[in-house]
Amino acid sequence: MKKTMVIIGAGSGISLSVACLFLSRGFRVALVSRNVVKLKKQISGEGVYFFSADVTDEKDIGRAVTEIRETFNTIDVLHYNAAHIRNVEVFEETTAQLIEDFKVNAAGLLTCAQLFKEDLITSKGAILITGGGIGIYPNPQYASLSAGKAGLRNLAMSLKEALKGTGIYVGTLTINGYVTKGSALYDPDNIALQFWNMYQDGNVFEVRL
């Protein structure tokens, strides 16, 4: 029986490389994005499925999860990759926009983990999270993303503790640099390989890259 990976916040870059790698290892991949039309131009083929949803809308993401459940007999890996990246200096930031960004950058993980919890307990699956060093070492030029990634990392720790004994592995990959094609460390394909290794190992909570 083929395993299934669900990627929340699918697009070009990291998630595309992760999808391709897990597909090559025999997985089916469900790609969740607000813009599946654009996504379909970047990846296609057997084992690739598309679901449209806005992670900040609990009803919308709930609908997508229901559709995913109806499509697959097992959910084995949840990869949370959603992020809203804006270059706005901290004193130019607004409370309203920071809160909206936080829904994508951190709170969406909670929604998805809650929705997929029972599926992942059944499969003894994994939650993989795209973290960022900016959450540990904030950049005032990216104040909202810094706060979001800090919240994401903290939430990941809470999930790890709360899911002890369930068989679910929780792992976050903290990326301490700009994702760049051709980079020795931060090429999306190398990042995808790190996620695969984390999944295979199933023990290390945080890997810093």
Q: Regarding predicted confidence, which is higher, 164 or 1?
A: 164
DSSP-derived letter for residue 167 is: T
pLDDT band at 178; cut points 50, 70, 90:
confident
Closest of 80, 81, 83, 77 to residue 22, by C-alpha: 77
pLDDT band at 115; cut points 50, 70, 90:
very high
The predicted-structure confidence for 123-133, as pLDDT tens digits, reads as follows 999 999 999 99
The predicted-structure confidence for 3-55, as pLDDT tens digits, reads as follows 999 999 998 889 999 999 999 999 999 999 998 888 888 888 889 999 999 99
Which domains are assigned to the chain?
4-208 (3.40.50.720)
pLDDT band at 159; cut points 50, 70, 90:
very high
Q: Residue 146's pLDDT is what?
A: 96
What CA–CA distances, in Å, run from 13 to 104, 130, 161?
17, 12, 30
Average pLDDT score over residue span 46-66 = 94
Q: Residue 66's pLDDT is what?
A: 95
Q: Residue 179's pLDDT is what?
A: 86
Length of the chain measured in residues:
209
**Cα distance between residue 208 and residue 134, in whole Å:** 12
Average pLDDT score over residue span 182-202 = 94
* Residue 181 clears pLDDT 90, i.e. is over it: no
Q: Mark 92-115 as b/e (b = at least 16 C-beta within 10 Å).
A: ebeeeebeebbbbbbbbbebbbeb
Q: Residue 158's pLDDT is what?
A: 98
pTM for this model (two decimals): 0.95
**Please, what is the average pLDDT of the chain?**
94
The percentage of residues in the chain with a pLDDT greater than 70, rounded to a whole number, is 100
